[in-house]
Amino acid sequence: AQSVTQPDIHITVSEGASLELRCNYSYGATPYLFWYVQSPGQGLQLLLKYFSGDTLVQGIKGFEAEFKRSQSSFNLRKPSVHWSDAAEYFCAVGAPSGGNEKLTFGTGTRLTIIP
Amino acid sequence: DTEVTQTPKHLVMGMTNKKSLKCEQHMGHRAMYWYKQKAKKPPELMFVYSYEKLSINESVPSRFSPECPNSSLLNLHLHALQPEDSALYLCASSQDLTAWETQYFGPGTRLLVL
């Protein structure tokens, strides 16, 4: 079965600084990888996804992520964060599980932005 | 239009009440999902419908009863809930039930069981 690890529970970054959120996955084949963002009290919004091709993926709101098969990682980056980026970020892997295909989410990373 | 709508936004119910959560999408998606999310936790999958048939039930207690009346609507009927069922209930939809499809989430219904 697939699994996702987000090692950082909480990250604090100054506004304007760069950001990297870590995600490691476990899956036997090439996984389908997603990053979702959730603002407080809201649903989840897709930032970007990877399933084949170029390993550097561009998403919305200036985010990008790089798939590294050798490290089983799919880290999310942004060169300069804005106060509105404060939210919970979930990495997820989509893979067949028990005959049914579904998303498996990591535990999330809460991002705090300080002025 | 990539919107999934959920009603109500908030719901307070007693343990003997019966209530329903409603989810709607008009994107022509054929897979619809119910998730439960506790505070500071990731969403947990509860049910999946594909082409209006129940495809996945993640061993959810029978006090939760899903229904898919048509391809645009998904309901979750609640009966005799427990206080530990208090959570944010998220609905999502995707083009179909395949691992690479993007799931589009609604804003959720925040449920409090007293």
* Residue keyed to tokens 């579904």: A102
pLDDT in tens, chain A (115 residues): 788 999 999 999 999 999 999 999 988 777 899 999 999 888 999 999 998 888 999 999 999 999 999 999 999 999 999 999 999 999 999 876 665 678 899 999 999 999 9
How confident is the model over B68-101, as pLDDT tens digits?
999 999 999 999 999 999 999 999 999 988 888 8
What's the gap in Å between the CA of A74 and the closest CA on chain B?
A: 15
Q: List B42's β-bridge partners, or say none.
A: none
What are the two backbone dihedrals, phi and then psi, of residue A80, each rounded to the nearest 5 degrees? Answer: -150, 110
**Residue A86: strand, helix, or coil:** coil
Phi first, then psi, for residue A108 (nearest 5°) are 95, 155
Per-residue HEC secondary structure of B25-82 comes to: ECCCCCEEEEEEECCCCCCEEEEEEECCEEEEECCCCCCEEEEEEECCEEEEEEECCC
Tell me which residue in B98, B104, B106 faces A101 most closely, judged by beta carbons.
B98
Q: How far is A113 from chain B (nearest CA, A)?
A: 18
Sole residue written with tokens 């990877």 = A50
Tens-place pLDDT, residues B2-11: 699 999 999 9
Q: What is the pLDDT of residues B25-73, one digit of tens each?
A: 999 999 999 999 999 899 999 999 999 999 989 999 999 999 999 999 9
> Which of B44, B59, B105, B112 is best to mutate for the A interface (most A CBs within 10 A)?
B105
- Tell me what pLDDT residue A98 has: 60
Chain B residue closest in CA terms to A87: B40
With b for 16 or more beta-carbon neighbours within 10 A and e for fewer, the A79-99 pattern comes to eebeeebbbbbbbbbbbebee
CA-nearest of A105, A108, A85, A87 to A95 is A105
CB-nearest partner of B105 from A43, A94, A101 = A43
